[in-house]
Structures are given as C-alpha cells and as structure tokens.
Amino acid sequence: MSWILNCLVVQHDWRLTLLAALVCVVGLATCITLIGMARRNTSRMGMIYGGVAGLVGGLAVWATHFLAMLGYRSDSLIRYAVPETLASLGIVGIGIGVAVALGSGSRLARIAVAVLAASSVSAMHFVGMSALRIDGGMIVWNVGGAVAAVGLSILCALCTVIWPQRDIRWRIPANTFFAVVSVCVLHFGGMSALSIVPDPTATLPASLMSESGLLLWVVGGAATVVVMAALVTTLGLWGRTNALNQLRQAIDAMPDGLGFYDAEDRLLLWNARYAEVNPEVAPALEVGVRFRDMLQLGVDQNLYADAIGREQAWIEERLAARGRLSNTTEQLVAGNRWLRVQDRRTAQGGIVTVVNDITDLKRDAVALATARDAAEAANRAKSEFLANMSHEIRTPLNGVIGLTQALSRTPLAGDQREMLDLIQSSGHTLQTLLSDILDLARVESGRLEIADEPFDLARAVRDAAQLYGAPASDKGLQFFVEIEPEAAIWVQGDVVRVKQILTNLVSNAVKFTTTGFVSLTACVGANGSSDPILRFTVEDTGVGFDAAAKARLFTRFEQADGTITRRFGGTGLGLAICRQLADMMHGALDCESEPGGGSAFILTLPLVRAEAPAETAPVASLAVDEDASARWRVLIADDHPTNRKVVELILGQMPVDLVQVENGAQALDAARTQPFDLILMDMQMPVMDGLTAVREIRLHEATAGATSTPIVMLTANALPDHIASSKAAGADRHLAKPFDAAQLMTLVTELGGEGRALAA
C-alpha cells in the first residue's frame, strides 16, 4: 500500500489530484443517486434515469482519470494520442449497461454488476494509459502491481454489494465511498506500477494533444457535464424530498394505517398508524422487508387463528389474494381484534395497503345482530300472542254473537228485545275493535297483503254504505249515496280494503252527526300528473274539528274529541289504519273540516280499469222440503261446546242433520265411516288439529276414489297465514269466528248442495 501512497503524494500535483477527487465524488454520488431513482421507476422514466446515470458515471470516471494524469509529474514531455483517448471515452457505453443492470435486486446480479463496473473502469484506465506518448521515453509496466491494483479495485467495488440495499439513508454515501476508493486504488495503484525508461528513438508527432489543450477539453467538457448533472440531480432530489416530506406528513396524519410496497412487495414507507394497528409485527417494520416475511412473523406468533395448522397454505392464499388488482380482507388476530386489510395495486406494480382496526365495528355488528334477533323474537312472540288472543277472544265472542242471533229469532218481550239489541251492538263493537287491532298489527309487521282482482266499483260502494242507512235513518239524518256514471265501472284492486275504508268513514260520519245529512260520493278524476284516479268523498254536517285536531287525527289512538267526557267513544285506530291501507294501495286519505261545520273525508285511489266477467247462467236454487231425503248431513268438529251449540241453534232452523265431534281424530273417523254433504272444521283442537284432519280426509278420499266433501274451516284463526294454511290443507272455504248466522246458513246452502250434487 506504501507504493500507492508514494505515487499519490510524490508523483502527482496535489491541486489537480484534489480536483480529480472532487469530480469523482460528485459524479459517482450523482450516478448512484440516479441509479436509485431508476430502480424506483419501472416505467420509461426508469430507463431514462438509468441511461443518464451511466453517462454521468462514465464521464466522471473518465474525467477523474485524465485530470489525475495531468497532475502526474514527469521530467519528460507527455502528450496524448487522440484515437486511444477517444477509445477510453467509449467506456461510457459500458457504464450505461451497468446502470440499467442495476435495476435487478438479487444479490448475485449486484455482484455481477459490481465486477462489470470495476472491470470497465480498469479497461478505460489502461486504454487511456495507452494514449500516453513520452518524448524520448517509453512506459514499462510492473505486471504484478497492475494486477494487484485491478484486484483491489474490484474488491472495493464488491463492498457496495455487502451494504444493505434497503437502508436508503446510508446506502448512497457508503456506495459512493466504496466506488471512489475503487477508482482511486485503480488509478494510483496502476500509476505506481508503471516506469518511464529512456528511448532515444521515441519522438512526439505534432498531431498529439498538448497538456494544456487536454486540460481545457477535459475540465471544460466532462467535468462541466458532471457538475451540471450533479446540480440538476441535487435540485431534483431537494424538490422530491420536499414533496415527500409533505406527503409523509399527510400520510402520518391519516387515521388509517397505510403501507406502500414496491413491485417486488418490499416495504418502502408506512405511517405511524400502520405500526399501531400491527403492534406484534411493528418491530420488523423497516424499508425493504417483504410482506411475506411479515406474514411469517405473524404466523410464528400465532396471531392468525384461521392459519393455525395450515400456516404455509394460509400464507400462499393470502399472497394470492393480495396479488389481485383489488382485494379486501377482514382478519381476526390475537386478542380478539379485527383488522380490515385493503390492498390496491398501482400503475407501476406496487401495492398500497390500508389497514383499519374494525374491532368496535364488529362488536357493534354483533350487538346489532343480537338486538335484531331479540326484536325478531319479540315480534314473533307478539304475532303469536295476537294470534292466540284473537283465537281466545273470538271463540267466546262467537258464542255471544251466535247465541244472540239465535235468540233474536225466538219470541221476546219488548224489554228483552231491547236488552238483546244492546248485547248484539256491544258484540259487534268488540268484533270491530278486535279486527282493527289485528289489522294494525299486520300493517306494522308488513304481513298485510293487498289483493289485485277485478270488482264492480258501484256495487262495492253501495255495499259499504247500506250498512249504515238504517242507523242514519234512526238518528233522523238524510243519507245519500251518489255514484257518477263514469264511476259505475269494473276496476282492478282490493275490494275488501276499499270497502273497509269506506265503511269506516261512513260509520264515523253517522256517529259524529246528530242533525243534517251524511253523503258518500264516488267519481272519476285526475291527479296533478293527469293520471286517472278514483275519488270517494264522505261528507257530513257533524261536530267537525279544528286544524290542531286534524294534525293528529290519523295518528293511532287519537280522536278529534279527546276530552274526558268523549261523548262518542272509540279507540282512534280506524282512521290510522285507513290511511295506511290507502298508502298501501298507492292512494291517499285526507280531510277538510271546521268546528261545528261538518267534515269531508276524501279518499283517492289509482284508477285501473278492468273487464267485467262474462255473465253465467243463473243456477236454479235447490228445492228443499221437509222430507228426510232432502236433509243435509253436516259434520261439525269443534272442541268448544259453546261453539257447537251456536252452530246447532243456527242450523236447527234448516233441514240439517248435524253430527258433532270434539277433535280432528273423531272427525276423521266419522268421515271414513259415513258420507257427509258438508264438514265444518275448527283449526285448533286437541288430539288432532283441524289442518291435519283435513289433510287426512283428503288423503282418504283420494285413496278410496271418493268424491271430495266440501270442507269449511270454521275457526277463530283469522289471519292471512291461517287462511293460506287452510287452503293448502285442502279446505274449500274459511269462515272466521265470530260469524254471522246468515253467512253460515248461506255456506251450508251453497256447499251442502254442491256436496249432494257431487255425491249423486
């Protein structure tokens, strides 16, 4: 090593040597910086950065060599041959190839690049030395010293491979140091291995470059390019660092954890939150660490419950999902924590990973699911309660109404008739209240369905109004029903719900009016969009109400008269249900009124015209006499003796032979042993329920090849689900308790006749 120091201190001008060292340091630092920028850009810009890096590095080494040569002290006149000098400049091309090759990240590739770079600099050095022409002398090489210089240069270049590539902070200074040492060892070691011996025959041609000319060319050309490149690169790095600092501040301020990985899935940057949501792997977070290594670290710590027992397969699945263009994963980690990991690929092939701690969201979701299940259970319990209460209330109510109807057909005294009328009125009021409560429950649960079938509008309006003609007359009121000719048509809709709304409105009008009139008008009109609509108006000259009462009139359990006396009674459910029904039919219900000036309720519904069904030939009524051969055999299955008695009393006025049983099993035995014209079946009974009995009867009929006996479900189970279950079991009709005596008698006449006709 002493011979290299002697060459550096004694045989060279220190000023030019210092200038050469400065050019070398600046040029190689710029070259290494540009190589790093090329590696971070996989697009066309990466190629440009790589090319400029090779150019700057080659010029820097070339300028360093000739500046140092100009500082070489010799007693002989030294000039330089142009061809060899320009040939040494061609080493720049090799430098470009080296810079592009530095894009690879494997250690073996970097070793090859370091050897290639040092070898290309050695070639440039000795080609440049061959350009020397010495007046009266010649160069003699010490081969051992030259080989040693080249070997030491390559070893210094290999030190750039040993330095951790992921340490950005120290990588540029360290690699620059080793590269400069490699160049210096090569140059000054090579210079110390040459000797100049006299050669009287050697003369310098005039075409050779002089020292001053070469100095101007080298310093003014190559060194200027190197310095300018360094300046531009420094400014670019300063601007980039400024922008990166601002970006880093913004990233650190993000509430979500963010990590950015390069195209080879190596970590480049991350914010503080990224380490907070991954505390178990936070110590391993450093530039260049691979995502796979972080997963392996977590697996080794048993962080991922779903990876236990299949660690490597789980890692491969996670990496495969991460490799997609976009991926979102919810991961349960140790400590019962949940992380949502979102991976998004960039245009350059990198991956942006956003991590959120969603543990609280998961807990809230579980709490909401629990609350939802509890609400659904409560709703089911409420529905079951309503169904049971409906059944339990309708059963005794059927006895009250049925027995009063049967009693009304017997001779009674005047005061007895008055008391019976009061009982019947109270029973019908209770029945209406029960229906309102069930309708409200069905609307709230979304289980109320609106039918869509053709019906005669004029007939529906008259049917809804005629129920209250007599009560209005009893109060001395004038009662009008007007149906405009345009409204006397067939329409598509739910006739039951339309009649329910109109009946409620007319009932209220009669109830709240003491003098004057009540009218129901049906007409065809148009809405604001010129679409045809049906408009029903119920007017009265009753008590009326003010604007404040109107605001709460359609609210549940509210009435216009809310005082303690509440002269007119009622629950306040009817109008609330009517408005909800109107909304479900895509219509509207509103009102106009003033205190003491009467009221007007307006129902509007979309008009959907329908074709009237074809008229059928009238069916001759079944002639019935008192002869035994004309009597109907009817089976009644009901576990409640009062209900059986009600049916017995009602049908006792008809030519009916009634057979009574207490449960479905007895009904099945009776149906198997004797024929019936009609079967009346309760739904809820001990031993065997009504639905099972109906299915068994239908199975027996199919097996025996017998005709189907008409079956009516005569039950207090009146919800739509119950009606659907009855039809599914094989029943022909469904009559809900409490029923009207006329309804039952009509069904027996109609279906009993059908049963006898089928049996015949």
Query: Mean per-residue pLDDT for 234-244?
Result: 66
Mean pLDDT of 724-750: 87
Selection from 280, 314, 275 nearest residue 297 by Cα: 280
Residue 285: both structure tokens together: 């977070």
In whole numbers, what is the pLDDT of the chain averaged over residues? 78
Phi, then psi, of 591 in degrees rounded to 5: -150, 160
* Beta carbons within 8 Å of 326's beta carbon, 6+ residues apart: 342, 343, 344, 345
Amino acid at 540: D
Query: Cα separation of 549 and 421, whole Å?
Result: 33
What local confidence, expressed as pLDDT, does residue 569 receive?
46
pLDDT of amino acid 607: 92
Residue 500 has pLDDT above 80, yes or no: yes
3 state DSSP class of 280: coil
Token code pair at residue 433 = 């209240």
Q: What confidence tier does 2 reach under pLDDT thresholds 50, 70, 90?
A: low
Please report the pLDDT score of residue 623 as a whole number. Answer: 41
Instruction: Name residue 636's beta-bridge partners.
Output: 660, 680
SS3 121: helix
- Supply the pLDDT for residue 100: 52
Summarize pLDDT for 163-206 with one digit per residue, the tens: 655 445 567 788 888 888 888 888 777 777 777 777 666 565 65
Are the C-beta atoms of residues 523 and 488 closer than 8 Å to each other? no
| Separation CA 748–CA 592 (nearest Å) | 46
Position 160 pLDDT exceeds 80: no
Tokens encoding 309? 């027992």
Is a pLDDT exceeding 60 seen at residue 472?
A: yes
Which residue would you say has higher pLDDT here, 644 or 623? Answer: 644
CA–CA distances in Å: residue 164 to residues 9, 36, 171: 34, 13, 7
Is the pLDDT at 534 greater than 80? The verdict is yes
Q: State the Rg of the chain over Cα.
A: 52
Query: CB neighbours of 253 closer than 8 A, spacing ≥ 6?
Result: none
pLDDT for position 624: 42
User: How many Cα atoms sit within 13 Å of 712 on the Cβ side?
Assistant: 27
pLDDT at 281 over 60: yes
Name the maximum alpha-carbon separation found in the chain: 166
Looking at residue 566, what is its pLDDT? 45
Report the SS3 class of residue 229: helix
Q: What DSSP letter does each residue of 510-569 carry, written as one string?
A: HHT-SSSEEEEEEEEEE-TT--EEEEEEEEE-S----HHHHHHHTSTT--S--SSS-TT-
Contacts of residue 539, defined as CB under 8 A and 6 or more positions apart, other chains included, come to 509, 517, 518, 519, 521, 598, 599, 600
Quick one: 84 exposed, middle or buried, by C-beta within 10 A (0-12, 13-18, 19+)?
middle
The reported pLDDT for the residue numbered 480 is 92
Which tokens go with 685? 């009974």
Buried b (16+ CB within 10 A) or exposed e, 219-247: beebbebbbebbeebeeebeeeeeeeeee
Mean pLDDT of 380-391: 72
Average pLDDT over residues 392-419: 78
Q: Give per-residue pLDDT as tens, 17-68.
A: 787 788 778 877 777 777 777 776 656 777 777 777 777 777 777 777 777 7
- Confidence (pLDDT) at 6: 52
pTM of the model: 0.45
End-to-end CA distance of the chain: 131
For residue 530, count other CB atoms closer than 10 A to its CB. 6
CB 506 within 8 A of CB 460: no
Residue 336 CB partners (closer than 8 Å, separation 6+): 359
Of residues 12 and 161, more confidence is placed in 161
Residues of the chain with pLDDT > 90, as a percent, come to 18
567-595 pLDDT, tens digit each: 444 445 678 888 888 998 999 999 998 88
Q: How confident is the model at residue 756, as a pLDDT?
A: 60
Give the closest residue to 21 by CA, choosing from 226, 183, 225: 183
Helices (H) and strands (E) in the chain, counts: 25, 21
Phi, psi of 313 (to 5 degrees): -65, -40
Separation between Cα atoms, residue 541 and residue 670, nearest integer Å: 58
For the segment 207-228, what is each residue's pLDDT rounded down to a tens digit? 555 554 554 565 566 666 666 7
Is the pLDDT reported for residue 532 higher than 70?
yes
Amino acid at 346: T
Q: Where do runs of H (alpha helix) occur along 613-740?
A: 641-651, 664-673, 690-704, 720-729
Alpha-carbon distance of 72 to 423, in angstroms, equals 134
Q: Per-residue pLDDT averaged across 144-160, rounded?
A: 84
Q: How confident is the model at residue 618 (pLDDT cuts 50, 70, 90)?
A: very low
- In this predicted structure, what is the pLDDT of residue 752? 77
Nearest to 737 by CA among 477, 472, 438: 438
- Mean pLDDT of the 722-745 span: 86
> Tens digits of per-residue pLDDT, 410-454?
888 888 887 877 777 677 767 766 776 666 666 666 666 787 889
What sign does the CA torsion over 480, 484, 485, 487 have? negative
The candidate with the shortest Cα–Cα distance to 677, out of 643, 713, 715, 707, is: 707
Asked if the model's pLDDT at residue 491 lies above 90, the reply is: yes
Q: Which of the listed ranges 79-83, 113-117, 672-676 does the model predict with the highest average pLDDT?
A: 672-676
Distance CA 27, CA 225 (A): 9
The pLDDT, as a whole number, for residue 620 is: 41
Query: 194-218: buried (b, 16+ CB within 10 Å) or exposed (e) per residue?
Result: bebeeeeeeebeeebbeeeebbeeb
At 396, list the tokens: 């005794």
Residue 562's pLDDT is 43
Question: Would you state the structure tokens that stand for residue 141, as one six-digit string?
Answer: 């090489």
The type of residue at 518 is: V
